[in-house]
Structure 1
Amino acid sequence: MSHLSSFVQFTASTVSLTVDDVAASQEFFTAYLGYTVQQAAEGFASLTRPDAFDVVLLARGIEVLPPEQRDQRAAGLILAYTLAAGLDEEETRLRAAGAPITMPLREEPWGERLFQVTDPNGVVVQLVQWAGQN
């Protein structure tokens, strides 16, 4: 019997980020990372991409959040995406498109190759490929 058999089945994964400027993050995720807008309203955007988790953007201070969460913003986290191939080409494409590369392409001692871009609200996105994968 599988360990997961005792848990409910998830149908999707979403990360919700509280940011100061929803429109700026929405533009970053759609222009550079290929997300599309599923829904949007004042202070809210739901972004989707078929091969990754969904991203929900909420404006800091929005009243739908519990009071203890309203003034917090996305910080201290990294959204990491693992690529099967093409990390070098993706870094080149993003650099040419004007994406803010905040950590250049490098290889860690344990074999992880990665680089980071950061959106206008400080959300760090890391693209990863394991060494030896093309």
Structure 2
Amino acid sequence: MQITASTVSLTVDDVAASQQFFTAHLGYTEQAAADGFASLTRPDAAVDIVLLARGTQVLPADQRDRRASGLILAFTTSDIQGEEKRLSAEGVDITMPLREEPWGERLFQVTDPNGVVVQFVEWAVQGAGSSVADG
């Protein structure tokens, strides 16, 4: 098997709000859109995103009223402090400030208008002896 692309499909109440968030702040562009649907992509390794309106008939009946919840859309990036500052300057609410986990992962989170949690991750340099709180 060869996978040529990856896409995550998120069911949300307001497709336009999430679409605007991902295009304005996270560098996504629209591939296709229709009433209750948007397909977003980036030119790099980020996963493509399909946004579907809750209740849409294309979803199986037992999934139509579910919202995207209990998941974290995570992106590994470089210059995590710069990304946090950029997003904050753009007015994006940082819902989990930058921190470093004991296993060496530095991360922060934002949440889109529909409650989709987006986490940015960078691996800390081993043996540096500093933490986010030091910087």
Same fold, TM exceeding 0.5? yes
1:10 equivalent in alignment to 2:8: no
Matched residue of 2:121: which SS? strand
Q: 1:73 aligns to what?
A: 67
| 3-state SS of paired residue (1:74) | coil
Q: What is aligned with 1:5?
A: none
For 1:114, which of 103, 107, 116 is the aligned residue? 107
Match of residue 58, structure 1, among 32, 52, 71: 52
Q: Does 1:35 align with 2:33?
A: no
Q: Which amino acid aligns with 2:73?
A: L
1:4-54: CA deviation from partner (whole Å, max 9, x where unpaired): xxxx11110000000000000000000110000000000000000021110
Report SS of the residue matched to 1:90: helix
Distance 2:110 2:117 in 1: 6
Distance in 1, matches of 2:76 and 2:67, equals: 25
Q: Percent identity among equivalent residues?
A: 76
What is the alpha-carbon distance in structure 2 between the residues aligned to residue 10 and residue 68 of structure 1? 28
Task: State the shift of 1:56 in Å.
Answer: 0.2
Instruction: Calculate the aligned-residue CA RMSD, in Å.
Output: 0.9
1:68 & 1:53 partners in 2: Cα distance?
25
Pairwise CA distance, 1:100: 1.5
* TM-score, scaled to structure 2: 0.91
Q: What stretches of structure 1 move > 6 A for 4+ residues in a row?
A: none
Mapped partners of 2:33, 2:59: distance in 1? 16
The answer to which of 124-133 and 101-110 deviates more is 124-133
SS of 1:68's equivalent in the other structure is: helix
Q: Secondary structure at the match of 2:25?
A: helix
TM-score between both structures, scaled by the size of structure 1: 0.91
Report how many residues are paired: 125
Task: Report the CA distance between 1:70 and its aligned residue.
Answer: 0.4
